Chains A and B, each alone.
Chain A
Amino acid sequence: MSNFYSGQNGRLLINGTAAGKVTNWSFSSSMSPLSTTSLEDTDQTFMNGLRSLTGNASLYYYDTGGVSNTNSASTLIDKLIKTRTTADDAGKAAQAENVTLRLQVKEGNIVKQIEIDVLLTNATMNMAVGEVLSAQISFQANGAPTELSL
């Protein structure tokens, strides 16, 4: 029997903690082939080159009701955006932090996932009339995945 998966099987973990209110995640892995074509050839030949992996995720921004708001969208945004180290020096702030993401397909106790150490490359927040405030996060993997069981 074939099992198919949908959004309700998707889960995103940020540094090992399940993120809340995730509406989608996606990733794309690509490889740039190196041409080995020489002048005598009539057809292009290639060898494997460098791989890269990028992706993005969308999360709703919400209030947990406590003193410190720790929703997952703000967790990721805080990893990328940093305030000034000193108030009178506009050019200096802490470096962005890398994050370990696990993009999971979960059904019962069975979890298929890819775990990657990522650099957050973009964070966008959308506030619009008639829409729930959300954040879109883009990331670039730092090296190969640390775990892959998809």
Chain B
Amino acid sequence: MAFPSTAPSTRSVNYGDYPVKSVQMMDGFETRILYGSKRVGVELQLAYNNIADAIAEQFLSDYDTQRGTFGTFPLPSSTTDGMEQGLANQIPGVSDTQWRYAGPPTVNSVYPGVSSVTVTLLAVLV
């Protein structure tokens, strides 16, 4: 089961930061060391409101397929639906990034046969 290609209702992106280490010297000066050329810690929070239970089930099935937070997978393009391409490009792309679940999807039942799902994903450089 692949990650569902449904367009999200809301999306929140934490664009992460470059790996920087700060060292406090004895004389009070701070030295910052850049360890990489790519942003890390990119986080994507996606909410799918009022979707059919069958689609909500796909999220849980994919979570099982990935063995929870263990497996990595590419994201469908629908996760950036509604976003200008320039801004969407700032989210790590499929060429160098996979994603993994930060935790289990949260499913809220709102109506018979209708649920809302929230997932949080973390970018994994490959």
Q: Which of A's residues lie within 8 Å of B, judged by CB?
A: 34-41, 47, 49-50
Contacts and interface: CB of A to CB of B under 8 A. Distances in A.
Which 6 pairs show the lowest CB-CB distances between chains A and B? A39-B82, A38-B7, A40-B81, A34-B50, A40-B82, A40-B7
B50 A39 contact: no
A47 B81 contact: no
A37 B111 contact: no
Contacts of A38: 6-9, 48, 81-82
Given A34-B110, A38-B7, A38-B82, 9 more contacts: A35-B49, A37-B9, A39-B9, A39-B10, A39-B81, A40-B7, A40-B78, A40-B81, A47-B114
B50 A36 contact: yes
Nearest to B49: A35
Report which residue of A38, A40, A49 has the largest number of chain B beta carbons within 10 angstroms of its beta carbon.
Answer: A38
17 contacts: A34-B49, A34-B110, A34-B111, A35-B9, A35-B49, A36-B50, A36-B51, A38-B48, A39-B7, A39-B8, A39-B9, A39-B11, A39-B83, A40-B81, A40-B82, A49-B110, A49-B111
